[in-house]
Chains A and B, each alone.
Chain A
Amino acid sequence: MAQLSPLMSHLLRRTAFGARPDEEAAFSRLTYVTAVDGLVSFDPAQTDVDDKIGRSGYANITATTAFSPNTNIDHARQRWLFRMVHSPAPLQEKMALIWHQHFATAYSKIVGMIPSAEATRLMAAKRSSDPAGQRGQIDLFREMGMGSFRDLLVEVAKDPAMLYWLDGRLNTRNNPQENFGRELMELFTFGVENYVETDVYAAARVFSGWNLLTSLRNSSTVAFTFNYVAGNHDTGAKDFSFPIYSNGSKRIESRNAASGMQDGLDLIDALAVHPETAKRLARRFWFWFVSETEEPDEGFVSSIAKVYLQNDTNIKPVVRAVLMSPQFIDSAHRYQRYSWPVEFAVRAIKEVGYAGFSVDTARSALINMGQQLFEPPDVNGWELGPGWFSTGGMLARMNFAAQLAANQRFALRDKARPSGGSPESLVDWAKSSLSVPDLSGVTTSALLDYARAGGYTGTDAQLLNKAGGLVHLLASSGEFQFV
């Protein structure tokens, strides 16, 4: 099996949920710069892997009724996990997951208002296969996640799932709704310390009339579309505590209702290029990609913020700059991020094996690990870093590793067989099959004790238990929880 350099392995853990054997082979032939450019340069129109669902040699899905990932939320979760395992552009899925965290929207609120099939479409529909061309929020992130952040904010503001989630659909001049405007400032852009309460009231008025239209398409399918309703817009001037325009003006002047949608675009423009937004995103990129065990490096933050502003808020050059930064490359930052449950599960699948393994096992296990897809706890997203690690969450990780290893035990036995000569060689095989850092003496001797327990014979019957058993222990170890 091709061996990746430690740096390449690090790059793939951070951007690609680890590496499948075919990715290991491909990336082992690339220089670092070529690998980075390849990862960030995908064309969202050319990355479809959904047609591989159900084929042999790929992970399985589980469906008791026809697999309907546009309209069944559990199927949608499986499709997304399948894409993370098998996508030719894993960073596309990683960025979609990151934006899902940043613009955290939960299916459970939407399904409280519209039928489950429609709520699923708003979260996850693939535009090209939806009868009304509905684009689910995740597909928005998959399409635009590496483009301009300013454009992404506009699309998020108009996204039907978001219009339900933060009640924008109800925002009218007579009844301004504060929910979206507040979170736009507090969470999506520059952060809570940069605005005052009156800005929230003004932002609500700015987005008044940014509503939702539901209509029947093809006489049977409901289409959900953003709809600016001029009559619902508050045409008065809006004053903010921070500059809206490049001339320093803090006021959005009164406009007639027909052109009032521009208010929202002006506010989004102002927030997107606000220096504090650039810095806040840079700090988030630090935690998302570089390290969670150290606070963001000041030089990193200022240089990434600069790349963001100089590139008209485009994310692709930002991600490239992050991956090329000395801080990312610094070997001291390897294994310094606490893996998100989804990162843990997908990486385990990619490294342990997936043929015949249903991603539905991961879907259900992720609930107890604390990261059910499409179900962040609130608009602030999941609590990252040590926040993932409760006793219950850790048990869920260990038990998922047990289920995966049990499912793959025959394949693992076969892979281990050439190394089955001694407990030592078997443990070495297990260590090399997962991308873990150097293990402590305690861990290694625990693995050796486990391999020897009951008397080592190296027979096929014993390897069947011990190969899977060792992989389970390694994937459950503290070391493997870091990426």
Chain B
Amino acid sequence: MKVTRRQFVRGGVAAFTVSFAAPKFLSELALAQGASRRNLVVLYLSGGNDALSTLVPYNDSFYYSRRASIAVPAANVLQIGRDSNNRLLGLHPRLPGLKTIFENGHLALIQRTGYPNSSRSHFLGTDIWSTANPANTFGAGWLGRYLDALPSPVDPLIGWCTQREVPHSLVGNRVSVPAIPSIQGYAFQSPNGNSGPEQVLSRTAMTQIASHLPADKPHLAFVNGTTQAALATLDRVASVGQYQPSVTTYGNDGLSVALRTVAGAIVRGIGTRVFWVQIGGFDTHATQNTNAANAGYANLMGTINTAVTSFYNDLKNQGLLGDTMVVQFSEFGRRVFENGSAGTDHGAGGLMMAIGGSVRGGLYGTAADLNPFSGNPTLENNGGDIKHETDFRAVYAKIIDNWLGASSSQILGGDFTSGPQFI
């Protein structure tokens, strides 16, 4: 039951399309709206991250008895201390950079995030996290609603999705976020050359064609509006392509390339408020390889460590860390016990992280007690899954109120302000 954008196109395209204006005007707009240089980078771990392998309760004997073949040995975890419930915790051994960020006080680890009656479906789960509405996932995404609430006209580069597919979280009723999977491919070609006078003629004609936004044909207007946004953002996006990072540690994988690009956009100050990056491979039903030297979950952790640490250091070197907030989520955590294929099935409560110069680092919330005794208040599903402690919407609310400067009660449709004070 994945939500499509059909509904939005039908309902709101007229309002949405008028938010595109001429390119010259847009750059001024970007400057004006970029007056606050604060930006949010959402990092989505797609597939349902096994939080117990990211932040390991290495002193809980049930962690080892229920995960005989995939548990991270206590000797290998990167110890980071105790939570408020006095439970010892450590990061996955492939996260040394995150440990350093934690020690710098710039990493908040928010344990047992989720919501009541957690969906074990990837798709419904993702839609719930996207809309921040477990009761009705047929609407705009939470970040889409934030962008919708900005004063018109909105710069088309106000959001930047580094994926080909714009996620539901970023789908709004009137603001359309560009998908820029690669800066090199984000250019306009003509059959008579990719530069020069013939290309200019084609681009002029295409701009004219895309200017047609008929109110009585919302779907055509939506596609033309998308073309308009593409043509209006090409040149500024291309300027990011020349970015030279201040560190040499970024990898060549998709996540590193995406975060390097995001750093470029931030350093160039092109006015983007919300970036989206993601990494897949977390649906680890089988052969999870938590402890492998060079495979599976261990490599996912290594990839995240390299990319996020490079990004962090890059922005730190350029004095922009205080303007940047990375927030990480996944659609659910995984089952407490391993499934016999040396993997884990879909579970419930998970882990969120926030990283940035303005983050109050630390361990938030309490780890579950993995002992599956009847009535264990930290588990659910007959002791099989982690019961959520912090509603994920409380984390969203903090970001909306304290970072983006908007109203969480308006955007989330409820009061979720009593959550962890990580900003």
**A394 & B191 in contact (Cβ 8 Å cutoff):** no
B223 at the interface (CB under 8 A from A): yes
Chain A positions 127-162 with a Cβ under 8 Å from a chain B Cβ = none
**B166 & A390 in contact (Cβ 8 Å cutoff):** yes
Q: Find B202's partner among A178, A292, A396, A472 (CB 8 Å cutoff).
A: A472
Contacts of A445 in B (CB 8 A): 208
| Stretch binding the partner chain, chosen from A214-222, A235-243, A378-386 | A378-386
Alpha-carbon gap, A445 to B226, bound state (A): 20
| Stretch binding the partner chain, chosen from B87-95, B182-190, B317-325, B354-362 | B182-190
**A174 & B340 in contact (Cβ 8 Å cutoff):** yes
B305 at the interface (CB under 8 A from A): no
B73 at the interface (CB under 8 A from A): no
How far apart are B146's CB and chain A's nearest CB, in angstroms? 19
Alpha-carbon gap, A454 to B182, bound state (A): 34
Alpha-carbon gap, A386 to B381, bound state (A): 37
How far apart are A390's CB and chain B's nearest CB, in angstroms? 3
**A398 & B186 in contact (Cβ 8 Å cutoff):** no
Alpha-carbon gap, A193 to B177, bound state (A): 31
**A472 & B191 in contact (Cβ 8 Å cutoff):** yes
B101 at the interface (CB under 8 A from A): no
Contacts of B268 in A (CB 8 A): none
B316 at the interface (CB under 8 A from A): no
| Stretch binding the partner chain, chosen from A8-16, A403-411, A414-422 | A403-411
| Stretch binding the partner chain, chosen from B5-13, B107-115, B242-250, B395-403 | B5-13
| Stretch binding the partner chain, chosen from A57-65, A72-80, A265-273, A475-483 | A475-483
| Stretch binding the partner chain, chosen from B50-58, B212-220, B365-373 | B212-220
Q: Mark B219-262, 1 if CB is under 8 A from A, else 0.
A: 11111101101100110000000000000000000000000000
How far apart are A106's CB and chain B's nearest CB, in angstroms? 10
**B201 & A469 in contact (Cβ 8 Å cutoff):** yes
Closest to A446 in B: B208
Contacts of A292 in B (CB 8 A): 6
**A465 & B192 in contact (Cβ 8 Å cutoff):** yes
Closest to B212 in A: A442
Q: Find B1's partner among A191, A386, A391 (CB 8 Å cutoff).
A: A191
Contacts of A193 in B (CB 8 A): 1
A200 at the interface (CB under 8 A from B): yes
**A368 & B164 in contact (Cβ 8 Å cutoff):** yes
How far apart are B361's CB and chain A's nearest CB, in angstroms? 33
Contacts of A435 in B (CB 8 A): none
B141 at the interface (CB under 8 A from A): no
**A447 & B205 in contact (Cβ 8 Å cutoff):** yes
How far apart are A233's CB and chain B's nearest CB, in angstroms? 15
Alpha-carbon gap, A378 to B331, bound state (A): 14
**B198 & A394 in contact (Cβ 8 Å cutoff):** no
**B220 & A479 in contact (Cβ 8 Å cutoff):** yes
**B179 & A390 in contact (Cβ 8 Å cutoff):** yes
Q: Find B346's partner among A170, A178, A396, A405 (CB 8 Å cutoff).
A: A178
Q: Interface residues of A toward B: which range? A: 35 or more
Contacts of A389 in B (CB 8 A): 222-223, 226
A395 at the interface (CB under 8 A from B): yes
**B340 & A402 in contact (Cβ 8 Å cutoff):** no
Alpha-carbon gap, A403 to B346, bound state (A): 44
Query: Chain A: interface secondary structure?
Result: helix
**A178 & B223 in contact (Cβ 8 Å cutoff):** no
Given contacts A172-B340, A380-B123, contact A391 B6 (CB under 8 A): no
Contacts of B340 in A (CB 8 A): 170, 172, 174-176
**A443 & B212 in contact (Cβ 8 Å cutoff):** yes
Q: Mark A154-187, 1 if CB is under 8 A from B, else 0.
A: 0000000000000100101011111100100010
**A392 & B186 in contact (Cβ 8 Å cutoff):** yes
Alpha-carbon gap, A409 to B339, bound state (A): 58
Contacts of B10 in A (CB 8 A): 293
A473 at the interface (CB under 8 A from B): yes
Interface centre among B10, B156, B191, B227 (most CB of A within 10 A): B191
**B9 & A186 in contact (Cβ 8 Å cutoff):** no
Contacts of A403 in B (CB 8 A): 189, 191
Contacts of B5 in A (CB 8 A): 383, 385-387
**A402 & B190 in contact (Cβ 8 Å cutoff):** yes
Contacts of A200 in B (CB 8 A): 120
How far apart are A380's CB and chain B's nearest CB, in angstroms? 5
Q: Mark A336-349, 1 if CB is under 8 A from B, else 0.
A: 10100000000000
Closest to A407 in B: B191
**A393 & B122 in contact (Cβ 8 Å cutoff):** no
Alpha-carbon gap, A293 to B5, bound state (A): 10
Given contacts A293-B10, A391-B178, contact A179 B201 (CB under 8 A): no
Q: Chain B: how many interface residues by the 8 Å CB criterion?
A: 69
**B286 & A170 in contact (Cβ 8 Å cutoff):** yes
**B179 & A393 in contact (Cβ 8 Å cutoff):** yes
Q: Find A442's partner among B4, B121, B122, B209 (CB 8 Å cutoff).
A: B209
Closest to A370 in B: B164
A43 at the interface (CB under 8 A from B): no
A192 at the interface (CB under 8 A from B): yes
Given contacts A390-B179, A465-B198, A469-B201, contact A402 B226 (CB under 8 A): no
Alpha-carbon gap, A371 to B182, bound state (A): 15
Given contacts A387-B5, A472-B190, contact A368 B227 (CB under 8 A): no
Contacts of A88 in B (CB 8 A): none
Given contacts A175-B339, A478-B209, contact A395 B186 (CB under 8 A): yes
Given contacts A377-B165, A391-B178, contact A398 B205 (CB under 8 A): no
Alpha-carbon gap, A403 to B189, bound state (A): 8
A302 at the interface (CB under 8 A from B): no
**B191 & A409 in contact (Cβ 8 Å cutoff):** yes
**B185 & A469 in contact (Cβ 8 Å cutoff):** no
B37 at the interface (CB under 8 A from A): no
A440 at the interface (CB under 8 A from B): yes
**B286 & A449 in contact (Cβ 8 Å cutoff):** no
Contacts of B182 in A (CB 8 A): 368, 392
Q: Mark B1-31, 1 if CB is under 8 A from A, else 0.
A: 1101110111000000000000000000000
Interface centre among B4, B209, B285 (most CB of A within 10 A): B209
B341 at the interface (CB under 8 A from A): yes
**B2 & A380 in contact (Cβ 8 Å cutoff):** yes
Q: Mark A455-483, 1 if CB is under 8 A from B, else 0.
A: 00000000001001101110011110110
Interface centre among B46, B166, B219, B381 (most CB of A within 10 A): B219
**A482 & B286 in contact (Cβ 8 Å cutoff):** no
Q: Find A391's partner among B180, B201, B202, B211 (CB 8 Å cutoff).
A: B180
> Could you list 25 A-B pairs, sorted by A, with CB under 8 Å?
A170-B285, A174-B340, A175-B339, A176-B340, A186-B121, A293-B9, A378-B47, A380-B123, A390-B164, A390-B166, A391-B156, A392-B185, A392-B186, A395-B188, A395-B230, A395-B234, A398-B227, A399-B187, A406-B191, A449-B205, A450-B202, A454-B201, A472-B191, A476-B227, A481-B223
Beyond A200-B120, A386-B5, A478-B227, 20 extra complex contacts between A and B, CB < 8 Å: A170-B341, A192-B124, A368-B181, A384-B4, A386-B4, A392-B179, A392-B182, A394-B223, A399-B188, A403-B191, A442-B208, A442-B211, A443-B212, A468-B191, A469-B190, A469-B192, A473-B209, A478-B210, A478-B224, A482-B223
Q: What is B's interface to A at a CB cutoff of 8 Å?
A: 1-2, 4-6, 8-10, 46-47, 120-124, 156, 161, 164-166, 176-182, 185-192, 198, 201-202, 204-206, 208-212, 214, 219-224, 226-227, 229-230, 233-234, 285-287, 339-341, 343, 345-346, 381
